[in-house]
Structure 1
Amino acid sequence: MPTSEIAKSQEYQSFRASVSQHKVQVDDGSNKEWTLYDAGPRCVRCPLVCFPPASGTADIFFKQILGLTARGYRVISMEYPVLWSLEDFCESFRKLLDHLKLDRIHIFGASLGGFLAQKFAEYTYKSPRVQSIILCNSFVDTDCFQQSQSSTTYWVLPGFLLKKMVMGNFASARLLDYEIANSVDFMVERLDSLGQSELASRLTINCASSYVEPQKLKDMHVTLIDVFDNSAISQSVKDEMYKCYPDAKRAHLKSGGNFPYLSRSDEVNLHIQIHLRVFLDTRYNACDPNVSEENGTDNGASTSDSSEHPTLFASK
Structure 2
Amino acid sequence: MSETQNSAEYQSFRSSVPQKKLVVDDDDRKEWTLYDCGPRSVRCPLICLPPASGSADVFFKQMLSLSSAGIRIIAVEYPIYWTMREFCEGFKRLLDALQLDKVHLFGASLGGFLAQKFAEYTHKSPRVASLILCNAFYETSIFQQTNSAPTFWMMPALFLKKMVMGNFDRRLTDPEIADSIDFMVEKLDGLNQQDLASRLTLNCMNCYVEPQKLNGVEIVIMDVFDDCALSQEVREEMYKCYPNAKRAHLKTGGNFPYLSRPLEVNIFIQVHLKIFDETQYSAKYVEPEERPGSAGSVGSVE
1:204 aligns with 2:210: no
Match of 1:275 among 272, 277, 302: 272
Counterpart mapping for 1:219-230 below 5 A: 219-230=216-227
Q: Over the residues paired in the alignment, what is the CA RMSD in angstroms?
A: 1.4
> C-alpha deviations, 1:255-288, integer Å up to 9, x for none?
0000000000000000001110110000100000
Q: Distance in 2 between matches of 1:72 and 1:12?
A: 20
1:193 aligns with 2:185: no
> C-alpha deviations, 1:119-163, integer Å up to 9, x for none?
000000000000000000000010011100001110000111100
Q: TM-score, normalised by structure 2?
A: 0.95
Long gaps (5+) in structure 2: 291-299
Q: Distance in 1 between matches of 2:231 and 2:173?
A: 18
CA contact (8 A) 1:277 1:297 kept: no
Q: TM-score, normalised by structure 1?
A: 0.91
CA contact (8 A) 2:286 2:301 kept: no
Counterpart mapping for 1:1-316 below 5 A: 3-172=1-170, 174-290=171-287
SS of 1:289's equivalent in the other structure is coil
Question: Given the superposition, is the C-alpha separation of residues 111 and 282 from structure 1 closer, same or farther in structure 2, using an over 3 Å criterion?
Answer: same
CA contact (8 A) 1:34 1:80 kept: yes
Amino acid at match of 2:201: T
Aligned length: 292
Q: Distance in 1 between matches of 2:189 and 2:223?
A: 26
| Identity %, equivalent residues | 62
Long gaps (5+) in structure 1: 299-316
> C-alpha deviations, 1:288-313, integer Å up to 9, x for none?
0239x8xx999xxxxxxxxxxxxxxx
Q: Distance in 2 between matches of 1:157 and 1:246?
A: 39
Amino acid at match of 1:65: M
Amino acid at match of 1:232: A
CA contact (8 A) 1:273 1:297 kept: no
Q: Distance in 1 between matches of 2:27 and 2:179?
A: 40
Runs of 4+ in 1 over 2 A off after TM superposition: none
